Chains A and B, each alone.
Chain A
Amino acid sequence: MTLSVRIIACLDVTDGRVVKGVNFTDLVDAGDPVEMASLYDSEGVDELTFLDISASSAGRETTLDVVRRTAEQVFIPLTVGGGIRSVDDVDRLLRAGADKVSINTAAIHRPELISEIVDRFGSQVLVLSVDARRARTESGFEVTTHGGRESAGLDAIEWVEKACKLGVGEILLNSMDADGTRAGYDIGMISAVRSVAKVPLIASGGAGALSDFAAALDAGADALLAASVFHFGIHRISDVKSYLSAAGYSIRTFNNS
């Protein structure tokens, strides 16, 4: 009886469609989010994340509708991130059917947003998404904004420590160096964040080979998020789970009894 490692499929959504860029450029349409969520659920994914990358408010309204339709037919946890700036934004998403929300840039600009959300809804609804890259900061990792193009002027490890104090319930760590490369998660970055975070840690960015998933767990990740390797069928969810199970990790089996 052990907590299973979680395999999370991330769907980048804009205007009601799933897209996934390689290093956030060259977006390729990979399908309908509700249909894909349902497919991943049936394949045994443990959790789903929608990242709303819509630029317009109309796009965000469309995402609320996508969340509603997903929550009506998929009975596993759903996290939604992208463009969340206020407690009211969180309220709308939870009411639409999200279980958790992830915040990123808005928390960098205004860290009090973390405590405001936690006070109202509890730590368990709040995921801090950190877009980090290697840099000459104290820890060797810095926080970026604008999809990794700009430095936020924050040391990544200090930021995680601060956010944990403010009450975030989970950390989603995206390596902007590794994102989209399929060359493996940034293991050093995962270890560094693990050493200061006492909340669950989701590793993201760089998943390629099956052994990459195990390496991230060994570095201290509790959950593994991937997008393109699943969307383009390089690995199925069940391949990752079988691999990890054979390697001795605790995974949720899908007994269908």
Chain B
Amino acid sequence: MIAILDYGSGNLRSAQRAFATTGHDVQLTSDLDIAFKADGLVVPGVGAFAACMNGINAISAADVIRQRKSAGKATLGICIGMQILFSDGLEYGTHKGIGMWDGTVSEIEAPILPHMGWNTVEIIGTSQLFKGVEKESFYFVHSYAAKESVGKAQAWTIHGEKFLSAVEDGPLCATQFHPEKSGQAGLKLIANWSAAL
């Protein structure tokens, strides 16, 4: 079973349906017990960095993400759900993230923001997530990003400057883009992620 952490409003319907294409049962949940026990946990993003952390803290979900990492259970952060895995975020002031990875999420230096639309990735290391879709485009919507190299494999994207577009770190993975909104390429990446569950 794949659990999608529900900790605020937003479009979770697409995510639910996209992960269901893998054949797994998919549950939207804010129940920490279900979130811990799930074979895979998806942490979507909601609003800005601080709003997202407030949502995570309101249901005390940070510990579940830490415990899953220690237990070797797969977790996937998406968009702001990736950003809050870092130690700090600079959107509307300085805010603490969950701190799974050292690094600061800061504004992208580009003439036009948000970075909105389809862009490609450059992969460093051995990627499981991008198998078969290394050359494809993925859908991004964000103005902030992490720029430090963390984890065992990384994907990088350029919009004005180079930033981290995905991380694979054992059981903990994250994408800055929205795989659930990235058409067939996104569904393939989701299938790659869920194949290991």
Contacts and interface: CB of A to CB of B under 8 A. Distances in A.
Interface residues of A, number: 40
**Contact size range, B:** 35 or more
Interface in A188-211: 198-200
| Most A C-beta atoms less than 10 A away, residue of B141, B182, B186 | B141
Interface in A26-40: none
Interface stretch (A91-99, A128-136, A176-184): A91-99
Interface stretch (A14-22, A70-78, A140-148, A154-162): A70-78
B118 A3 contact: yes
A241 to B, nearest CB: 11
A121 B118 contact: no
Contacts of B132: 257
A1 B186 contact: no
A255 interface: yes
Given A41-B183, A76-B183, A252-B137, A6 B118 contact: yes
Given A2-B119, A75-B18, A121 B113 contact: no
Nearest to A98: B11
Contact of B11 (A71, A76, A170, A222): A71
Contacts of B133: 257
Interface of B: 9-11, 13-14, 17-18, 47-48, 51, 111-122, 132-133, 135-137, 139-143, 157-159, 178, 180-188
6 contacts: A3-B159, A71-B14, A71-B17, A94-B9, A99-B181, A122-B51
